[in-house]
Amino acid sequence: MATAVADATAGAPAPEAPIEAFTVTLIIRRFDPDVDDEPRWQDFDVQMFATDRILDALHKIKWEQDGSLTFRRSCAHGICGSDAMRINGRNRLACKTLIKDLDITKPIYVEAIKGLPLEKDLIVDMEPFFASYREVQPFLQSATEPPKDKERVQSVADRARFDDTTKCILCAACTSSCPVFWTDGQYFGPAAIVNAHRFIFDSRDEAASTRLDILNDKEGVWRCRTTFNCTDACPRGIQVTQAIAEVKQAIMRGKP
């Protein structure tokens, strides 16, 4: 790869077919709390390549057309979890949604995630989401000391038990795709349960029963109606509904 790039810059550039660009229409749900009483839809036409992402389209709009467009993004590579938004009616990360995977003969609808207070354009107040996350005590708790100068040992099988739920990036795509969460925002939400699952099923942790008690609440796991929106929305491919079902079963058993 490196030599190919070096050759291309050193030698005469070979005549290449120009990469085809498309005009893509994005209809974005805008909201400026200083001006608007309610959100409004605004459309933008941008030239995009098939390999571009929705995040690139948002950048192009912000940098070239309307600097007031407001959205969060940090790493832009699907790890930080900043840019979860509703793209064509489904929660996705803007940085992981390629133009080629969408039907660009129709406009692409982009709006903020649902169920959390809208602050501006594509930005919502994430505090209620993080409050639920903190409530499930998402940290290792153990009363026993680890072996002297050693880490706490765990078998491969014990580690694999909760591997799926370690992948969460707290983007809120799952929680804000949940119809139960939309109704009043009181439900803990899939993300908090996923992060509780990560410690409940960790053989090194000793506070599983505390977390099971917390989730055995009327706003806990029993509000899950198995719509599987969270599993479909998760950009990390976590089997969220499966994890919630495992927590339900653990509560019924009284132990992980």
Partner 1 sequence: MAINTAGTMTPKRPAGTLYRGREGMWSWVLHRITGVAIFFFLLVHILDTSMVRISPEAYNAVISTYQNPIMGLGETALVAAIVYHAFNGIRIILIDLWSKGAKYQRVMFWVVIGLWVVTMLGFAPRHLINVFSHVGGA
For residue 111, the minimal CB distance to partner 1 (Å) is 5
Among the listed residues 33, 41, 64, 139, the single contact to partner 1 using CB under 8 A = 41
Strand, helix or coil at 144?
A: coil
Query: Of the two residues 26 and 58, which places its CB atom closer to partner 1 in the complex?
Result: 26
Name the one range near partner 1 by CB under 8 A: 105-113, 119-127, 151-159, 188-196: 105-113
Query: Of the two residues 136 and 180, which places its CB atom closer to partner 1 in the complex?
Result: 180
Query: Of the two residues 117 and 179, which places its CB atom closer to partner 1 in the complex?
Result: 179
Strand, helix or coil at 47?
A: strand
Q: At what angle do helices 190-200 and 240-253 cross, to 10 degrees?
A: 60
Q: Does 90 bind partner 1 (CB under 8 A)?
A: yes
For residue 127, the minimal CB distance to partner 1 (Å) is 20
Whole-angstrom Cα distance, residue 142 to residue 140?
A: 7
Q: Does 43 bind partner 1 (CB under 8 A)?
A: yes
Among the listed residues 22, 39, 123, 223, the single contact to partner 1 using CB under 8 A = 39
Candidates 69, 179, 66, 169; CA nearest to 126 is 169
Label the pairing between strands 108-111 and 90-93. unpaired
Whole-angstrom Cα distance, residue 31 to residue 124?
A: 11
> Residue 5 is encoded by which pair of tokens?
């790039």
CA dihedral 75, 241, 85, 80 (to 10 degrees): -10
Query: Of the two residues 58 and 243, which places its CB atom closer to partner 1 in the complex?
Result: 243
Q: Can you give the binding site for partner 1, defined by CB under 8 A?
A: 25, 27, 29, 38-43, 45, 86, 88-90, 106-107, 109, 111-112, 114, 177, 179, 225-229, 231-232, 239, 241-242, 245, 248-249
